[in-house]
Structure 1
Amino acid sequence: MSYEWFQELLGKLPFQLLDYLVISLNLLIFLFAKFIIKISPKATYFSTTNNRMLGLRAINLALFSIYMFAAGVEIIFDQPISHLQQISQTGLTVLVAYIIQHYVQGWVVYRFGKAKEIDGVTYHGESYASEIIGLIGLVLVSSFAILVIINIWELNEWLQATSVIGGILLILFASKEYFLGDMISGLIMHYNHSVEAGSVIRVKELDTIGVVLQITLSQTIIRDLVQKHEVTIPNSKLRNSTVETISNCGKNGFREFLDFKIGYDQPSEKVQTFLEKVWEQAAAKEAGINIDAKPKIVVIENGDHAVTWRLLFYIKNPYRLLDSRNTMQTIAFELSHQENIGLNTPVTHQILGDQPPELDNSNNRLTSE
């Protein structure tokens, strides 16, 4: 009984052979979307993989929804959906164009991009050439898909009569502020090589320090060195900020410093010996510190309460910048107890009690009872 009911239900469906082919292909792509996306060079970026997979499955769900709606209208209301064949062909065109574009972009990045190793993982990053070629590929694939859809719906005469291309250009011009600035900024950064995949940068305005993973036409993906998560910054916002490229440094490495406030009761020779010991033990413990480049110890301020000493040292591995700083801070704290040198700002003023002071007119000074 159930089999006969199923046969009768299939007979009521308004689908033809092409529709069943598109539904089957759509189902296979939905099930294996993760595998399809991951076999691309761009799949080394976790966020890119997720975004591409979500986009592909969104197209799958849209096609499924259209077919379910058509089947429901046919079965419940006995009203066939017109142009169902065109809808199937259009969905198949969009689906295939999306997958082709994904692989074209992946091949362009792999062939014309830059490969850099970050934390033992090889990343294929964008370059100026890959961005330009990828943009050309996007235009070609999109144009081909639009022409196919126009022919499917037989809109050639309507296209000429209504100037659809002019309308599309008008929409693009009206929305240029939302994407054109980021696109131009991304191309300029690629052309100037100011920020590249694998660079360690510090952006003070955004309070961010991390490794650049990817620069696209719209945004830059950075792995934060503090919390190890990915940060996405619009290209225009990054280009308008002050960016320090830490990985572009001299032969000794990146020059970093730490400041210590030490009281006036400590002799200069003792403080210099203390800071030298801090550097020696930190360099022996932390591989990121360049042990071959000697540190420099200077006084940068004679303040009201303490002397500010600056310890300048070199870091040969910029990816371990924060680890080097934390190691040196920890060793400085431990040695301060051994050497009896306080790292806290000394208190150099008198704290009066609860009883209000009286003025001694004989010597014009404050006294406490």
Structure 2
Amino acid sequence: MPRASVDCHPPPPHSTRRAGVSVQILRPQADLGAGQAMSWSRLQTLWYHIDALTWLVIGINLLLILFARPLVRLASGHDASEGLVRLRVHVLQTLNLAIILGFVYWHLFSSDQGPWGQMLLGILLLIYLGYLVAHLLGIWILRRYGKRKQIRGEWRWVETYQSRLLTLVSRLFVFVVTLITLVRMLGFESLLEAGGVLGFIGVLMALTQATWAPDLFSGLIMLNSNVLEEGDVIRLDGQPELFGIVFKTKMFHTEILDIVANHRILLRNAALRDRIIRNLSKFASARGLRDRLSFKIGYDTSPQSVRETLEAAWNRVVEDPPEGVEVQYPVEIGLLATGDHALEWGVFYYTKTPERLPAIRQQLNQIFLETAGDHGISLATPLTHQVLLSSSRTASNTQE
């Protein structure tokens, strides 16, 4: 019969009839199959809708993620620590991964996100590309117009006036182009709206120019005048007197390595330019830097004995010279001052390694001290007031 033939077949999985347990068991399997089919259809949609530009962006970012560490090492300065390099690598990899995920999400859910998702992705990509282009331009300009110099046994590129000025101009150009593009992406199409945003940034820079402008132009002036470069040994007059090596010249400040205390000092370029700078690396002659050792010897020692002692000490220096002392040039020994308590004698010598000046002075002072002891001459400054006191006491005891 017709009814019997219909009851012999099980109801379909999506039927609304009450067919017992069989319908309830088959429904989850059908939903799972539908979910897998939907995911597969979305993957197919993603595969067919991604254009060549998107594949290019994804491929470049994947390569940047894989080679992030060597690229950061190449772009970082010589003084970048391992922690700073690791941080830059993580930031670079995070930005590249965010761009990849943003492109994938854009193509998967482009119908649901609206224009703001695409705009945010574009802003992120624009800022990233602007920073990357500015940084790479700075590296290229430094390699092209900078100077290669050996500093403390290490060869590195140092800034010059041309490289600093071109880097500043290029970064300003990239910043303006990035800013104008960002303003247009945010929807400020009219000239009045875009000019308002640019004018606000200009007013902000004008209000803060007293903070950054003096240091920026002071750094350019010092680089242009060639008064100091990275690696130069300088001495700054002040309290206390600073003796160090110019470690790094930056846009707004200069890093100086204190040779005596072995630590870094940060000085604003404007403050550095206002002080008296003695550049010990800029020699006035081919002999090198002319340094002086001073000794105060009492009046009871004859000048001939003092000169013979100092010459004997210098002969010991010539036999076993400390590193950095130019012993091929004759030493100059002379009387500097006739003081109230002692005579001040000076020994002038030459060196071409001013960064070793503290160590050279220590070694030479020890040699001169030992030689003076061998000749029976004291290098201690006499205290004449003690002699007067002892004489007055003797006179008073005699009267009593």
Q: Note whether the superposition's TM-score is higher than 0.5.
A: yes
State the distance in 1 between where 2:209 and 2:86 align.
Answer: 27
Question: How many residue pairs end up in the alignment?
Answer: 338
Counterparts of 1:193-272 in structure 2, within 5 Å, are 193-205=226-238, 207-249=241-283, 250-272=285-307
Alignment check: 8 A CA contact 1:33 1:53 kept: no
Match of 2:357 in 1: 321
Match of 1:348 in 2: 384
Instruction: Check 1:188–1:162 CA distance in 2 against 1; reply closer, same or farther (3 A cut).
Output: closer
- Secondary structure of the residue aligned to 1:310 is strand
Match of 2:322 in 1: 286
Which of 175, 180, 196 matches 1:142?
175
Q: What's the CA shift for 1:151?
A: 3.2
Alignment check: 8 A CA contact 1:114 1:197 kept: no
Q: What's the CA shift for 1:126?
A: 0.8
- Relative contact order, CA 8 A, sep 6+: which one is greater? 1
Which of 198, 205, 227 matches 1:165?
198
- Secondary structure of the residue aligned to 1:156 is coil
Match of 2:148 in 1: 115
Match of 1:38 in 2: 73
State the distance in 2 between where 1:31 and 1:262 align.
Answer: 70
Which structure carries more helix by proportion?
2
Instruction: Check 1:146–1:53 CA distance in 2 against 1; reply closer, same or farther (3 A cut).
Output: farther
Alignment check: 8 A CA contact 1:30 1:57 kept: no
Q: Which letter maps to 1:257? A: R
State the distance in 2 between where 1:28 and 1:203 align.
Answer: 48
Counterparts of 1:7-86 in structure 2, within 5 Å, are 35-40=70-75, 43-46=77-80, 83-86=116-119
- Secondary structure of the residue aligned to 2:212 is helix
Match of 1:299 in 2: 335
Q: What's the CA shift for 1:183?
A: 0.9
- Secondary structure of the residue aligned to 1:36 is helix
Q: What's the CA shift for 1:344?
A: 1.8
Which of 172, 180, 183 matches 2:213?
180
Instruction: Check 1:237–1:279 CA distance in 2 against 1; reply closer, same or farther (3 A cut).
Output: farther
State the distance in 2 between where 1:269 and 1:52 align.
Answer: 63
Cα deviation, 1:122-172, whole Å, max 9, x if unaligned, reads 121111111111111101221232233223322233862661111111111
Instruction: Check 1:296–1:60 CA distance in 2 against 1; reply closer, same or farther (3 A cut).
Output: same
Question: Which residues of structure 1 form unaligned runs of 5+?
Answer: 66-79
Provide the identity percentage: 28
- Secondary structure of the residue aligned to 2:251 is coil
State the distance in 2 between where 1:174 and 1:282 align.
Answer: 60
Alignment check: 8 A CA contact 1:200 1:246 kept: yes
State the distance in 1 between where 2:397 and 2:166 align.
Answer: 81
Cα deviation, 1:323-353, whole Å, max 9, x if unaligned, reads 2212111212322332222222223333899
- Secondary structure of the residue aligned to 2:379 is coil
- Secondary structure of the residue aligned to 1:197 is coil
Match of 2:8 in 1: none
Match of 1:277 in 2: 312
- Secondary structure of the residue aligned to 1:350 is helix
- Secondary structure of the residue aligned to 1:163 is helix
Q: Which has the larger radius of gyration?
A: 2
State the distance in 1 between where 2:227 and 2:61 align.
Answer: 43
Match of 1:68 in 2: none
Residue 190 of structure 1 pairs with residue 226 of structure 2: no
Q: What's the CA shift for 1:86?
A: 2.8
| Greater Cα offset, 96-105 or 207-216 | 207-216
Residue 94 of structure 1 pairs with residue 127 of structure 2: yes
Alignment check: 8 A CA contact 2:215 2:251 kept: yes
Match of 2:187 in 1: 154
Instruction: Check 1:108–1:53 CA distance in 2 against 1; reply closer, same or farther (3 A cut).
Output: farther
State the distance in 1 between where 2:370 and 2:244 align.
Answer: 28
State the distance in 2 between where 1:168 and 1:51 align.
Answer: 30
Q: What's the CA shift for 1:229?
A: 3.9
- Secondary structure of the residue aligned to 1:264 is coil
Q: What's the CA shift for 1:37?
A: 2.8
Q: Which letter maps to 2:217? A: I
Q: What's the CA shift for 1:99?
A: 2.3
State the distance in 1 between where 2:73 and 2:270 align.
Answer: 29
**TM-score normalised according to structure 2 size:** 0.71
Q: Which letter maps to 1:270? A: S
